Amino acid sequence: MTPTAQAAIDRHRRFHERIAQKAAELELRKPPPPAAPDPDPPSPETDLFKQWMDQWNSHPTRTGWFSISEEIQPSFPSIALIVRIVCQYYNVPKNGLLSARRTANLVRPRQVGMYLAKEFTKRSLPEIGRRFGGRDHTTVLHAVRVIGLRKETDPDLAAEIEMLRTEIRVAT
């Protein structure tokens, strides 16, 4: 055998010896196997923490481990409630308010309704537009801007909006 081949065999043998040595070291560092399960686990009657957690999670106001009770969660009025209150206040039919008609007796109540829906709900402009007869989000944006500017210059409109706000707060 040539000296070069013998050197390669020796290197190969040392390499495998080092691998075996590392494997033996890792075997010594391996954690012990898990203990067998307790043959006599505590009964639910004696496990007070488990009882407390079961009561906590089964409480009617609980939706998860860390949820807030319904008593302190803020409630937002629905768009349907706002539409109903605006229709009652301005004495217009709901189907008229949600229709495509653009008569003066419908436009102002519709714009006020959109303005209040944006103010009171967490809904997006497209969602409000859909709820007001399938309108585009830009229509809702225009209504919010127009009513916001007009209520600053028109005290009658400001009073109407304040009356509607009060009715909406009372209804929720």
DSSP assignments along 17-38, one per residue = HHHHHHHHHHHHHSPPPPPPPP
Give the pTM: 0.58
Position 70 scores a pLDDT of 47
Where are the alpha helices (H) located in the chain, listed in sequence order? 3-29, 48-58, 79-90, 94-97, 104-120, 125-131, 137-153, 155-171
Residue 136: pLDDT band by 50, 70, 90 thresholds?
very high
More confident residue, 19 or 56: 19
> What's the CA angle centered on 82, arms 144 and 126, to 5 degrees?
50
172 close to 76: Cβ distance less than 8 angstroms: yes
pLDDT tens figures, 50-87: 666 676 666 655 555 454 444 444 578 999 999 999 99
Q: What is the DSSP letter of 41?
A: P
The mean-pLDDT minimum among 14-18, 71-75, 112-116, 140-144 falls in 71-75
Which residue pairs, CB below 8 angstroms and at least 24 apart, start in 103-107?
A: none
Q: What is the CA radius of gyration of the chain?
A: 36
Answer for the pair 85, 167: CB distance below 8 angstroms, yes or no.
yes
Predicted confidence at residue 171, as pLDDT, reads: 87
Residue 40, pLDDT > 80, answer: no
pLDDT at 69: 47
pLDDT of residue 122: 87
- 79-171: what fold? Chromosomal Replication Initiator Protein Dnaa; Chain: A; (1.10.1750)
Question: Cβ(129)–Cβ(139) under 8 Å?
Answer: yes
